[in-house]
């Protein structure tokens, strides 16, 4: 074990970042950073070696003090540590335009989604020290339009209670936690025994806060852990608390994953004391629960939806104490093709809109990041020939970034695709058709739609319309009035042509849209 002492420069009105070199090859080594009194401040696993990039760590709190690094990394590795008044620039590479990707490193589940003072806050599971899962902490990004995101400093770091697993955000309406009325409360899973620091500690649900007016909402989140355990260990790796205010029963509600296919519902008057009101088992469902009320389009009615990680959902009723399923297990994502979307969560603070973001579990080969977030979708329920189904169109904010729309009815010539922009193709047809894309084929035969080898049965009310959206390394299908949604990984491709072959020359229409997020 090697101990390295590093003195942080005195602060000069700006933040101080320690740039930690990240190597993507070699053996993982544990690194602990201690303060002058011997307290562990950070613990991480990384691969010491020649830097592929640098991960920033805000050390402003220790300006003028010394930090001590305990590791069995080679001594010469420490010579690559750097101090700066700013974080490293975003790693340069071709990236999706419409899907959030991290500046560097691995990301998975969206966490703590909340809309506040005109700003959308998205936290997420994050490992800035590799392109693989490890060192779970909460990254943070903000947006004013749900499409363009700015990544900020990491908000929650691992500690002696565990690494920082998934959770959610809610407004403390009365200041019950003692941090001020209107403060933001973040419920997260402390994943004990997932790092050496928390060896032997069980999974628990804990609380962090952001005080009102602690900083301008578009600036870094001054999040602090309260030390409050909201719910202790119950079973297995119980995790992923989703908390919201239920007006009808005047209580905060938490839905929590327990173990296997088991979930729990808790109630609290003050965000501190939680009472179990229901345990339920949901068929072949696990992780990342959510519970929300949706309008049934055209009826004036509403239904409750209980959601789990794979996009499985159950329609039913919720009285503030118990969720009663009225449907079997349904799936928001087409179960043919790649099962890429996962761990979706809905935003708090949206005043009637139910807006969801999912993690796209893509490998992002040869990129300085792994994983991306979906374009946000706005949920509702719609009556179909098979009963009620969840409808998930893209949020209306996406329309702002349509730069160019071209209508095609003559398909004697190929349609050129843009080289460096996300694009959307809206198709309507009165006969069968074939579409040649640079990366595969799409066909519509009667009510059967096949995209890149995956087939979907379109309902009669679909009117033979569907949408394809391509964003560099991902392709999405929306069909059947946005009740069919599917996602594929795209191979590397640049531009190319669309060739569309309808059976009847006047039976199809195509609208090609190009997006621009630089305005």
Residue 482's CB is within 10 A of a number of other CB atoms, namely 19
Q: How far is CA 340 from CA 303, 355, 356, 421, in A?
A: 27, 19, 15, 22
Query: Quick one: residue 327, left, alpha or beta (phi over 0 = left, psi -120 to 50 = alpha)?
Result: beta
Contact status, residue 50 vs residue 23, Cβ threshold 8 Å: yes
Give me the half-sphere count of Cα atoms (radius 13 Å) on the Cβ side of residue 518.
6
Residues in contact with 394: Cβ distance below 8 Å, sequence separation at least 6, in sequence order:
375, 376, 377, 378, 469, 478
Active site residue: 109, 172, 471, 482, which one?
109
CA distance 379 to 352: 11
What stretches of 145-223 adopt beta strand conformation (E)? 150-156, 163-171, 184-191, 204-210
What is the rounded distance in angstroms from the CA atom of residue 466 to the CA atom of residue 433? 12
Return the exposure string of 446-473: e unless at least 16 CB atoms fall within 10 Å of the residue's CB, then b.
Answer: eeebbbbeeebebbeebebbbbbbbbbb
In a 3-state reduction of DSSP, which class is residue 62? helix
Q: Could you write out the DSSP letters of every residue in 333-362?
A: S-SSS---EEEEEEPBS-TT--EEEEEE--
Spatial strand order in the sheet of 17-22: 53-58, 17-22, 82-84
Half-sphere exposure of 322 (CA within 13 A, CB side): 7
Q: What is the DSSP string of 397-463?
A: GGGGGEEEEEEE---SSPEEPPSSS-EEEEEEESS-EEEEETTEEEEEETTEEEETTEEEEPPGGGT
CA distance 324 to 326: 6
196 classed as catalytic: no
Residues 365, 367, 370, 376: what is their CA dihedral angle, to the nearest 10 degrees? -100
Q: Which residue reads 């071209």 in tokens?
A: 406
What is the Cα–Cα distance from 92 to 271, expressed in whole angstroms?
42
Give CA–CA dist 277/269, Å, rounded: 13
* Angstrom distance (rounded) from CA 45 to CA 49: 13
The label of the residue with tokens 């095609």 reads 408
DSSP-derived letter for residue 183 is -
Catalytic positions: 109
């Amino acid at each position: 074990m090697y101990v390295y002492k590093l003195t942080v420069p005195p602060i000069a009105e700006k933040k101080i970042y320690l740039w930690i070199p990240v190597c993507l090859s070699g053996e993982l080594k544990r690194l602990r950073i201690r303060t002058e009194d011997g307290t562990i401040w950070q613990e991480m696993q990384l691969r010491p070696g020649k830097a592929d990039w640098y991960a920033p760590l805000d050390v402003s709190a220790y300006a003028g003090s010394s930090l001590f690094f305990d590791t069995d990394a080679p001594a010469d590795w420490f010579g690559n540590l750097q101090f700066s008044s700013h974080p490293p620039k975003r790693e340069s590479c071709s990236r999706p335009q419409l899907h959030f990707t991290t500046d560097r490193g691995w990301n998975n589940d969206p966490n703590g989604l909340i809309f506040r003072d005109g700003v959308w806050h998205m936290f997420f599971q994050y490992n800035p020290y590799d392109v693989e899962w490890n060192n779970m902490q909460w990254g943070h990004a903000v947006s004013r339009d749900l499409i363009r995101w700015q990544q900020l400093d990491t908000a929650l770091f691992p500690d002696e209670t565990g690494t920082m697993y998934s959770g959610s955000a809610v407004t403390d309406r009365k200041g019950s936690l003692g941090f001020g009325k209107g403060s933001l409360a973040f419920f997260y899973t402390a994943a004990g025994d997932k790092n050496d620091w928390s060896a032997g500690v069980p999974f628990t649900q804990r609380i962090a806060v952001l005080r009102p007016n602690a900083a301008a909402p578009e600036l870094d989140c001054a999040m602090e852990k309260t030390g409050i355990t909201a719910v202790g260990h119950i079973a297995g790796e119980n995790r992923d608390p989703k908390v919201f205010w239920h007006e009808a029963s005047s209580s905060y509600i938490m839905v929590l994953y327990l173990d296997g296919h088991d979930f729990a519902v808790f109630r609290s008057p003050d965000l501190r004391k939680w009472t179990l009101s229901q345990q339920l088992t949901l068929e072949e469902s696990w992780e990342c629960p959510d519970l929300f009320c949706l309008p049934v389009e055209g009826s004036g009615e509403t239904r409750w939806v209980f959601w789990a990680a794979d996009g499985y959902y159950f329609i039913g009723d919720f009285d503030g104490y118990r969720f009663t399923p009225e449907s079997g297990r349904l799936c928001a994502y087409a179960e043919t093709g790649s099962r890429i979307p996962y761990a979706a969560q809905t935003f708090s603070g949206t005043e009637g809109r139910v807006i969801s973001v999912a993690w796209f579990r893509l490998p992002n080969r040869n990129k300085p990041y792994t994983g991306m977030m979906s374009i946000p979708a706005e949920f509702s329920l719609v009556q179909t020939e098979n009963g009620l189904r969840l409808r998930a169109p893209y949020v209306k904010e996406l329309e702002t970034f349509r730069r160019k729309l071209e209508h095609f009815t003559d398909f004697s010539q190929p349609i050129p695709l843009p080289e460096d922009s996300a694009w959307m193709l809206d198709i309507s047809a009165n006969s069968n058709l074939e579409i040649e894309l640079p990366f595969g084929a799409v066909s519509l035969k009667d009510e059967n739609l096949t995209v890149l080898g995956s087939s979907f049965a379109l309902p009669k009310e679909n009117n033979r319309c569907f949408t394809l959206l391509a964003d560099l390394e991902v392709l999405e299908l929306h069909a059947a009035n946005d009740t069919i949604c599917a996602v594929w990984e795209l191979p590397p491709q640049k531009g190319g042509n669309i060739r569309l072959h309808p059976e009847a020359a006047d039976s199809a229409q195509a609208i090609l849209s190009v997006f621009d997020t630089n305005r």
